[in-house]
Every structure is written in C-alpha cells, then in structure tokens.
Structure 1
Amino acid sequence: MTYSFDQVISREHSASAKWDGRKGKFGTEDVLPMWVADMDFASPPSVIEALARRVQHGVFGYTIRDKGYDDAIVGWFARRHQWAVEPAWVSHAPGVVPALNYLIQALTETGDGIIIQTPVYHPFARLIRSHHRTLIESPLLEREGRYEMDFDDFEQKAAAGAKLFILCSPHNPVGRVWTRAELERVGEICVRHGVTVIADEIHCDLVYTPHRHIPFASISDEFAMHAVTTVAPSKTFNIAGLNMAVVIAKNPGLRDAYRQMLALQSAASIPALGLEALKAAYNGGDEWLDALLDYLQGNLQLLKERLAPYAPKVKVVEPEGTYLVWLDFRGLGLAREELDKFIVHDAKVGLEPGHIYGQEGAGFQRINIGCPRALLVEGLDRLTAALDRRSSDNT
C-alpha cells in the first residue's frame, strides 16, 4: 500500500498545540512550527477507519479494558521488539508524562534522589522538583558529535543513595538508541545499588536502520524485576491527543504501587476512542510504520545535506532514533537569549530551545522533522536564509 506522507494537511484552526499555539509559545504567529513532538502526518488508515467505526456506533460511555487491548500490546512488543510481555504486567496510563508523575509519587518519598541524564526531556526535572524529590543530574558525555553515558559519574551518584533512575530510551533530544552493552552496564549499576529504573521508551518504534531498540526490561529477569517501562502508540502513530499510554511492570510490588496511585488519582479510566486507536495501531500499523521510517530517513538526509555547508557554525547531531534532531548552534557564538531570538525572529522557525533540557543544552535547538518534505524544505529555506543574512552582516 502507498502512503501519502508528502500530503500537506492544514492543522490551523484545529486547536493544534503545535500550530494554533504559536502565539503563546513564541510570541508571534509568523513562525513555521517545528517544535513539539507530534507529526504533521495523518495517522494510519487502520486507525482512522477504526475510529470512524467507533464514532458511527454513537455511544461513548465508560470503557473497560478488553482482551483485544491485551492482545494488541502483547503482539506488538513480541513482533516488533522480541519482548515477551504478559498481560498481567500491563496497566493503562493517560499518557507517559502522567505515568511518570504517578510513578514518582508511588515509588519515592519527599527528598529521595532521582537520577536523569541531561540534556534530557525537560518534564523529567519538572516532575522531580514539583514533588520535592532531589534532582540528581548525570550529564551525558559529548564526544565528536555523539553522546555517551558517563558510567563513572552515574555509579558515583547511584551509590550515594539515589532511589530512582529515569532512563530515556531512545534518548530525547540527542537521538541515541542505547546499545545492549550500554543498557547492561547502566542496569548492573542500578541493581548493585538498589536503584529502580523507570524506562521511558515512548520513542521505541522510531529507530533508524541499522540501530535496534532493546527494551531495558527484556534484557534479563533481574532487570525486569528492577524496572517499570512506559510506552505508548502516541508518537509512533501520531495519536498523542487520544491520551493512551501503557505501563509495563513484571515486579508485582512495583506494578501494584503504580496501580494504587493511578486509582488514588482517579486516572484509571480508559478513553473509548483511545482504546480503539491503540488496538488498530498495534494490530494493523506495521506496514505504515515501515513506510514512515523510510520517509523520515529521507527527511533526515535532506536536513544533513542542507545544513552541511554551514558547519561548523551549525552542526547536526545525527539521531539513531526519533523524528527529533538536535542541532548544535554553538559555532554562532550567540548567548542563550540571542540564539532563541535568532531562531524565532530572524529565521522565523519555531524550534525547541536546547537550554530547557538542562544546562548542557545551551547553544542547541531541537527540530522536529516529522512533517511533509515541503514543510521541511520551507523550514530549512527560512533557517539557511537567516544564516546567510547573518554571515553577510558579519563580513
């Protein structure tokens, strides 16, 4: 089947956070939005058709988890990730960030230390601070444009009494897909020091050849008993607005703690349309996803080609996964506020400022390439024209 990823679908006036929220986000509406992590593609036909059938039914009352939900999740992770998940391990979540919120409350107490590897998805730090836990940063090491874990630093901080580690895998925003050896080493450190791992694997399906996502909890039974995994069809199939995520925990103690917190927050109800979308995506989305990954790799290649002449002032940190690309603007020599202003007001593109991911992100911006190629070209035209003007002004 052929999929039309080149089709530009107007998202304006659809209450889109990405498009209709430009004024609130950037202070102006004349930017091309390439920031928040949703794509500008229609969801797979299987999802749209399933939702249409459910809407035609016309009754949208309270919904329970059915066998189709379990079968879809178990089948997807066996088929795509060679991970044998049992239905008993699975719990619903209204989103990965809400799941992280509930897990932090369920598994830690006030003052407990939680490790994150910066620069990393900014809600991690916000959630840790908002619940008065101790934020422990173990910065990634940047080596020749590629990021690695600092295992010595990580072990030192794990040994100092940290209670949790939030693993971002694949990593947002730097795009690393961690190898088995890396995951084994960080997992061994966590087991040795009694640190529970929350593995945020929401981007697990969005991995470029030849890289392969390895679910942390699939590596060994010991790791599985020390971990909780959060996943969702939302990024993969562009259905973030349907509020469906999944929490997987083999350890009954961790699983029960999460479920109790979910009930305490009155958040256990499964949305009717989200249920149908999840089942349709995981049961019928393989071919669409394979085509999407090919298209995204084409977008990534275009991005690299268009920005190559601007190195070293602008460098692409090539992602191994996700449709989010970390751009290094440090060569421009701009202060944080100056770079933000240059991107928004000179280039007129709406990117995510790197400094929100931690101090290591200063001088970077995150761009979303999950869009029709015409939009990517327009964004790159705007950015390179602004870079050309800046170069001309400085000569």
Structure 2
Amino acid sequence: MLHLFMTYDFDEIIDRDGTNSVTYEGWRSFLFANEQDLQIPYANHELISLWVADMAFSSPPPVLDAVRARLDRKILGYSKIFDPHYGKVLKDWFLEHYSWDIDTDELVSAPGIVTALNRLVPLLTEPEDQILITTPSYAPFKRAGDQCGRGVVFSPLQENEGKYEMNFADLRQKIENPVNRIRVFILCHPHNPTGRVWTTQELKELGQLCLDNDVWIISDEVHSDLLREGQSHTPMAALFPHSDRIITCSAPSKSFNLAGNMLSHIFIKNTTMRAEWKRLFSDYHSPLSIAATQGAYEHGAEWLRQLNRYLDANLQFLKDFLTEHLPEARYQIPEATYLAWVDLSAYLPKRKDTDRWAVFFAQKAGVLIEGQEDFVANAEGYIRINIACPKATLHTALIRMAEALNN
C-alpha cells in the first residue's frame, strides 16, 4: 500500500443517495422524531446535512484497499480478532500519537461507544446510584443513565470568552455530597460539542477528585485524533496508570469516517469488571470491520494528517464567514473535533417563526443542523455544525443560513 506520498481529495462531492445513510436518508427520524408531519420545502437531494458526526469525505483509500483485499479472500465467516498483529498496530498507534503504552489484555470491543456506555453504566452502578455529566453534553451520555433507570446529575461548564471550563467547585460539591450517590463520571475528552481539549492539569484535578471519592471514570476519547495544529491529547488513563477505575473508550469511527464500521475499543483495567463484560457480551465482528480498522491505524496516518489540515481551513473559513455575514454570532475555533459550536442567541429575539434552530434552518434554508435541544442543558441559543464536508458544500450551506437569518 503506497499511500505515504498521496495527496487526498477532500473537495470531492460524493453522492450518498441509496446508501442507507443515517446522515442523508435517516435525518427525519432523528432530528424530527416527534414532528414526522413537519413540512420542509426542499427535496431530499436539495438538503445539506451538517448534523450527525460523520464526514462527507471518502473513507481513507488505505482502508478501502484493506476491505477490498479482505473481500478477495472470498469467505466472510464468523470472525473475532485472533491475529496478534492487530494488537501491535493498536499499540504502535497509541504510543506514537499519545505516548500511551496500552495493554491489549485490557481490551474489549463494542459495536460503538454509545453501545459501550449503555452497557457500562448498569455494570458499574446500582439502581439507586447516579451518574454525573457536564453540560452542554453529547445527548447519549444522559440517555446511558436514563435507559437503565439511573439518575443523571448535571454540572454546567463555565464559558469564558468562548472557552469552556469545568466548574471544579460545583463538581466537588456534587461528587462529595453523599445524598447524590455519584458512582460514575462520563468524561468527553476532547469535548463534544464545545471542542475543548482538556489540559493535563484539568484532567489530573478531575481524576483525583473522582478517584478519591470512589467514582468510576468513563472517558470517551473518540475525537482524540481530530486536533487543531499545536494541540495534543493526553489519555486520562495515562495520567493514573495504577488506577483500575478509569475506562477508556476509543474508536476509528470519527478519525477515519468509519461510523458504520461498528468496531470500538474499550479498555477496562479492572479484572472483575472486564470479566463481567466478557461474560455478558460477544466480541464477534464483521471481518470487513476488522480489516478496515487495522487498515486505518496501520496505513491511515498520512490521510489523517491531510484531513486535519483541511478541517483547520474549513473552521477558519466558517469564522471568517460569520464575521462578515453574521457578525452577532459568537464562535471560537474548537481545539479539536470537526464540530463548530456557534452561539446564535443574539438572533433569537428577531426570529418569531420558530423556537428550534433545527426546524428553522431545515425549513428556511434546507440545511440540517442540531440545535440546543440536542445537547441536554446549558446550550440555549447554540447550534452545532459539522464542517467535515467539502468547502463548497459548507459555503453553500452558510450562504443559505445567513440569508435565512438576515431576511
């Protein structure tokens, strides 16, 4: 696979019609589940999808090559990960990119990190226990508690000139209050939707607070490869190597546009909990998922480097566009992810035609985004825009959105 010196085309427009894409064909059941009769004056092919977190780019050519090579083996039978080279590829990736020497004996797998959260919360807690999340939050964090009957406690992040920070006084008060029975903290690292890369100092303070109070940490690190120039990612578990109460969730899904690959890596150091996971859950996988994941981590580094450069440019383009055309919008380029967190609060008093940004932009601009209601709490007036698309697509969407707001 000679991909080292290739230049990848992130400007390519790829037709997703007829591919059973959640992004392209499943948007109504996700964004407007309770509004199935909502009238949107755009045909499906006219809509621009900037909502769910998968990319409009081709998955990496080295990954597609790995899948084709696996297909050439002709039999797609029952498959687990037996080849030790797979573990070596993972070890090399985490060591090179995060200086984290993983132990593959701690590794279990899941179809996705959301599935892992839904499995882990009831494993780690009793019915009367509660979990703690910071807000705004990726909505499945809350649902991981809701669907198994666990209470969910919120600690609002504090915004300081566009930069979000943890409120450690609030976190301490909620964790140390025995009435709350906090047993699990779900950390989003880097953070979705704000794009924060938590510093080593922040992680150490949070980790010590949780561990001193017998609180498990589930660290969702799925966005860790999608860093702005000059940023670095430190795994939470790497800072507390002797603790067995930190569970790390990682996957190639965001980094390499493999959300449909359905293979995530869950590192569970605690032997009792890992044994219980293995007792309850299967680790069979699609043979194509195994090939794609190994191909991504073994041959995808250069593609990822070029991707991040393209994302940097798109995020800057968004900032420049908002400054010129929507000057009352508040937005800071995120430290990680391909998700832009934009405050449109200043435009709300001028809009009497909707109380939901997702409805407004779908009807008035033919652009699908997620609004404040999709991020649990502490998100009033905000939208999240997925900028991982060709620049021309992003530009068209922004022109439509600006015209709708300024009309």
TM-score bracket, shorter-length normalisation: over 0.9
Counterpart residue number, 1:354: 372
SS in 2 for 1:68: helix
Q: Residue 378 of structure 2 aligns to a residue in which SS?
A: helix
Task: Encode CA deviations 1:249-306: one digit per residue, 9 max, x unaligned.
Answer: 22323322332332xxxx3212211100110001011111000000000100100000
| Match status 1:32 vs 2:48 | yes
Q: How many pairs are equivalent?
A: 384
Contact 1:90–1:246, Cα closer than 8 Å, also in 2: yes
Which residue in 2 is equivalent to 1:164?
A: 184
Does residue 258 (structure 1) correspond to residue 277 (structure 2)? The answer is yes
Amino acid at match of 1:352: E
**Is the contact between residue 174 and residue 317 of structure 1 (CA under 8 Å) also seen in structure 2?**
no
State the partner residue of 1:211: 231
C-alpha distance in structure 2 between counterparts of 1:373 and 1:95, whole Å: 29
Structure 1 runs of 4+ off > 4 angstroms?
none
2:73 matches 1:57 = yes
The answer to which of 231-240 and 350-359 deviates more is 350-359
Q: Secondary structure at the match of 1:211?
A: coil
Q: Which amino acid aligns with 1:229?
A: T
Partner letter of residue 13 of structure 1?
Answer: G
Selected match of 2:152 from 135, 147, 153: 135
Partner SS state of residue 317, structure 1: coil
Query: More helix per residue: 1 or 2?
Result: 1
State the match for 2:402 in structure 1: 384
8 Å contact 1:355–1:363 — kept in the other structure? no
SS in structure 2 of the partner of residue 98 of structure 1:
helix
The AA in structure 2 aligned to 1:63 is S
Deviation at 1:207, TM superposition (A): 0.9
Corresponding residue number in structure 1 for 2:340: 325
Distance 1:230 1:338, change over 3 A: closer
* Cα displacement string for residues 68-123 of structure 1 (whole angstroms, at most 9, x for unaligned residues): 22112111111111100011011111111111111112111112110000111001
CA contact (8 A) 2:249 2:264 kept: yes
- Opposite residue 387 of structure 2, the aligned amino acid is I
C-alpha distance after superposition, 1:114-150 (max 9, x if no partner):
0000111001111201100111111111111110000
Rounded Cα–Cα distance in structure 1 between residues aligned with 2:330 and 2:283: 44
Q: Which runs of 5+ in 1 are unaligned?
A: 390-395
> Which residue of structure 2 lines up, in the alignment, with residue 287 of structure 1?
302
In 2, the alpha carbon distance for the partners of 1:314 and 1:57 equals: 53
Which one-letter code corresponds to 1:38 in the other structure? Answer: D
Q: Do the aligned partners of 2:79 and 2:285 also contact (CA within 8 Å) in 1?
A: yes
Give the Cα–Cα distance (whole angstroms) in 2 for the partners of residues 354 and 183 of structure 1. Answer: 26
Q: Contact conserved, 2:107 with 2:268, CA < 8 A, in 1? A: yes
Q: 1:275 aligns with which of 278, 290, 300?
A: 290
Q: Equivalent residue for 2:217?
A: 197
Aligned to 1:12: 17
Q: Distance in 1 between matches of 2:323 and 2:102?
A: 43
- CA RMSD in angstroms comes to 1.5
Distance 1:206 1:145 in 2: 20
Matches within 5 A, 1:306-321: 306-310=321-325, 313-321=328-336
User: Is the Cα contact below 8 Å between 2:357 and 2:370 reproduced in 1?
Assistant: no
Give the deviation of 1:318 after TM superposition: 2.2
Structure 1 counterpart of 2:284, one-letter code: S
CA distance in 1, matches of 2:326, 2:400: 17
Report the TM-score, using the length of structure 1 for normalisation: 0.94
Identity %: 37
Would you say the 8 A contact 2:369–2:383 is kept in 1? yes
Following the alignment from structure 2 to structure 1, what is the Cα–Cα distance between the partners of residues 346 and 269? 46
SS of equivalent residue, structure 2 residue 182: coil
Distance 2:283 2:64 in 1: 25
Q: Is the 8 A contact 1:317 1:328 kept in 2?
A: no
Tell me which moved more, 183-192 or 329-338.
Answer: 329-338
Per-residue deviation, 1:43: 1.1
| Equivalent position amino acid for 1:56 in 2 | D
State yes or no: 1:342 paired with 2:360: yes
Q: Would the aligned equivalents of 1:107 and 1:257 in 2 still touch at CA under 8 Å?
A: no
Alignment counterpart, residue 389 of structure 2, candidates 351, 371, 375: 371
